[in-house]
Amino acid sequence: MDMLKLTDVTISYKNVPTVKNFNLDMKSGQIVSLVGESGSGKTTVIRAILGLLPGGGKVTGGQILFEGTDLLSYTQNQWRKLRGSDISMIFQDSGAMMNPTKKIGHIFTEYILTHEKISKKEAWDKGTRMLERMRLPSADHIMDSYSFQLSGGMRQRVGIAMGMTYQPKLLLADEPTSALDVTTQAQIVRQMVQLRDNYHTGILMVTHNLGVAAYMSDYLIVMKNGKIEDQGTREYILNSSVNEYTKKLLKAVPSLGGERYV
């Protein structure tokens, strides 16, 4: 059975359909990327899966099935249980989702305590262990820092560590490396691939970086103006796609030793 299945999903903001007839089948342990230009509706799709559409956004048609249950029929309470346990999300800048006046340790413990009935001390230790498991250096020091004291790459790894605490079956990633430098980006990408290898986590990623998408994904979906323009395996999209738009996008990616303009 598919882990995640979207059938004919239409999402509208204030009754204007933004994403139309979106279909997706995703198996567990699969990495799928949504690529496309800004405004093509990539982020809207993954936000809808977690019920996190911003003001005025609503799924107006179709079905979102997660392990066979219809997420759209969920109540707020059911959503809250699902978020951060079976499905987690990493944002472009994990620092922005953390309260800047609280230390990482506090935020992490608070998150764990909303999902588990354990003591504060146990939650703190669990958080530290999680950071260590994600191979963050000096986890104790990080727990005792504010988010702004960490570098962008560190913050992103803390975000991933938090998201992975309950070994979610599905990890949604919204431009997880876009705010990072190339060297840090490579570290994060490698870590995300390892998550799949070690924990069999399925990853649905939104990115505009075709290179990153191609490196990580088993399957790519190219979006344009709220519709699926092209889709297929990595080999198909990169080498044998006949779609004009896909070809145009691929051609625009600068490449070392590739086209020079001067």
Partner 1 sequence: MSEKSEVILEAKHVTKKFPAADGRFLLANNNVNLKMYKGKTLGLVGESGCGKSTFMKLLVSLDTPTEGQILYRGTDITKLKGEKLRQHRKHIQMVFQDPASSFHPKMKIRDIVCEPLLNFGKIRKSEKTEVCRKLLEMVELPGEYMDRYPHSLSGGQRQRVAIARALALEPEIIILDEATAALDVSVQKTIIELITKLQREKNITIGFICHDIALVQSVAHQVAVMYLGNVVEEIPGHELNTKAVHPYTKALMGSIFDIHMDYSRPIESIESEPPSPLDLPKGCPFQERCGYRMDVCKKEAPRMAEIAPGHSAACHLLNLTAR
Smaller CB separation from partner 1, 141 or 251: 251
The answer to whether 261 contacts partner 1 (rule: CB under 8 A) is: yes
Token pair listed for 214: 């191609």
Question: What Cα–Cα distance (Å) separates residue 228 from each residue in 19, 28, 45?
Answer: 9, 22, 11
Smaller CB separation from partner 1, 201 or 246: 246
Q: Which of 35, 1, 22 is closest to 234 using CA atoms? A: 35
The answer to whether 247 contacts partner 1 (rule: CB under 8 A) is: no
Give the count of residues interacting with partner 1 (CB under 8 A). 39
For partner 1, the binding residue among 69, 119, 149, 151 (CB under 8 A) is: 151
Instruction: For the segment 36-65, give every residue that binds partner 1 (CB under 8 A).
Output: 37-38
The answer to whether 232 contacts partner 1 (rule: CB under 8 A) is: no
**By three-state DSSP, how is residue 172 classified?**
strand
The answer to whether 229 contacts partner 1 (rule: CB under 8 A) is: no
Token pair listed for 203: 């990853």
User: Of 45-53, 57-65, 75-83, 203-211, which part binds partner 1 (CB under 8 A)?
Assistant: 203-211
Closest CB 252 distance from partner 1, rounded Å: 4
Q: Are 139 and 150 in contact (CB under 8 A)?
A: no
The answer to whether 154 contacts partner 1 (rule: CB under 8 A) is: yes
Closest CB 244 distance from partner 1, rounded Å: 12
- State how far the Cα of 29 lies from the Cα of 43, in Å rounded to an integer: 21
Q: Kindly report the backbone phi and psi dihedral angles of residue 149, in degrees, each rounded to the nearest multiple of 5, phi listed first.
A: -85, -10
> Which element (helix H / strand E) includes 31?
strand 31-36
The answer to whether 185 contacts partner 1 (rule: CB under 8 A) is: yes
Residue 149 has a CB neighbour count (10 Å cut-off) of: 13
Binding site for partner 1 (CB under 8 A): 37-38, 151-154, 181-187, 189-190, 208-212, 214-215, 234, 238, 248-262
